[in-house]
Amino acid sequence: MITVKGLCKNFEHIEALKDINFTISRGEIVALLGPNGAGKTTLIRLLTGLLSPSEGEIFYNDEKLSTNRVAVLSQIGYIPENAPIYKDMSTYEFLHYTAQLKNLSADIFEERLKQLIKSLELTEAMNRQIGELSKGFRHRVAIAAAVLHAPDILILDEPSEGLDPNQKFALRKFIQKFAARGLVIISTHIMEDVEALAGRIILLNNGRIIEDTTPFKLKYKMPDKDLSSAFRRITSSQQAQS
């Protein structure tokens, strides 16, 4: 479970996030939605400990991120936007390195690796340099690295950016399977992903949560019952007000 209490983030004179509060429970797939500059990436970076909040706290299963960074990160799998990984390493070397950083024993690593090679269809990529792999394969390698330690929480920043329809479908299947035993947070502005995956939407605009609801309820707020137009109308009316 993730609990966010009174989270604020300021960059010098800019308030990137203001008074963010929410709780996400096991089994949920939550989409962080918002236009560019809404604060999605800042929130993701705060949730993964890459940034420290100016105010507020983040709890993972009652453990404070600010004081137990390492313990909390061992429960999280994070895939940043564009999945940056070491291109000069082979897939096996990279996953082995990741396993060592995550303090996995050799036995557990080999066992997890077998499962991930099968579920993410990585056999072909194992001995190839990451720099030589296609974007889709690189993405799968990044997913394997993120879930190598069997985390409870998966955080993805713009996960389907640049993937072809088949790869998007495979990714969604993987996320749905993961959510059966953990929780998933996806930062995106691709409505197709939201509709296919999310059971809940946290809509951000100008650094504030303006909606915390289900895709169904958000859709039916608008006469045309379309998620994209709901998103456009809510965020543009907010921008006009501000």
E strand or H helix that includes residue 20 = strand 14-24
Task: Give the shortest CB-63-to-other proteins separation in angstroms.
Answer: 12
Kindly tell me which residue out of 27, 50, 132, 236 binds other proteins, with binding defined by CB under 8 A.
50
127 is a site residue for other proteins (CB under 8 A) = no
Task: Give the shortest CB-8-to-other proteins separation in angstroms.
Answer: 13
Count residues contacting other proteins (CB under 8 A)?
28
Beta-strand pair 55-60/29-33: unpaired
4 vs 230, beta carbon nearer other proteins: 4
61: left (phi over 0), alpha (psi -120 to 50) or beta: left
In whole angstroms, give the CA distance from residue 24 to residue 242: 28
157 vs 193, beta carbon nearer other proteins: 157
Kindly tell me which residue out of 101, 134, 169, 221 binds other proteins, with binding defined by CB under 8 A.
101
90 vs 238, beta carbon nearer other proteins: 90
In whole angstroms, give the CA distance from residue 136 to residue 163: 6
73 vs 120, beta carbon nearer other proteins: 73
Convert residues 67-96 into a mask of x (bound to other proteins by CB under 8 A) and - (unbound).
---xx-xx-x-x-x-x-xxxxxx-------
137 is a site residue for other proteins (CB under 8 A) = no
158 vs 211, beta carbon nearer other proteins: 158
48 is a site residue for other proteins (CB under 8 A) = yes
Task: Please give the order of strands across the beta sheet that includes 14-24.
Answer: 14-24, 2-11, 55-60, 63-64
Beta-strand pair 14-24/2-11: antiparallel
Kindly tell me which residue out of 4, 91, 102, 219 binds other proteins, with binding defined by CB under 8 A.
102
19 vs 93, beta carbon nearer other proteins: 93
17 vs 218, beta carbon nearer other proteins: 17
Amino acid at 28: E
111 is a site residue for other proteins (CB under 8 A) = no
Asked if residues 85 and 145 have their Cβ atoms less than 8 Å apart, the reply is yes
What's the chain's Rg over C-alpha atoms?
A: 18
Quickly count: other Cβ atoms within 10 Å of residue 164's Cβ: 12
What sign has the CA pseudo-torsion 224, 229, 234, 236? negative
In whole angstroms, give the CA distance from residue 27 to residue 1: 9
Quickly count: other Cβ atoms within 10 Å of residue 242's Cβ: 8
List interacting residues with other proteins (CB under 8 A): 11, 48-52, 70-71, 73-74, 76, 78, 80, 82, 84-89, 97-98, 100-103, 145, 149
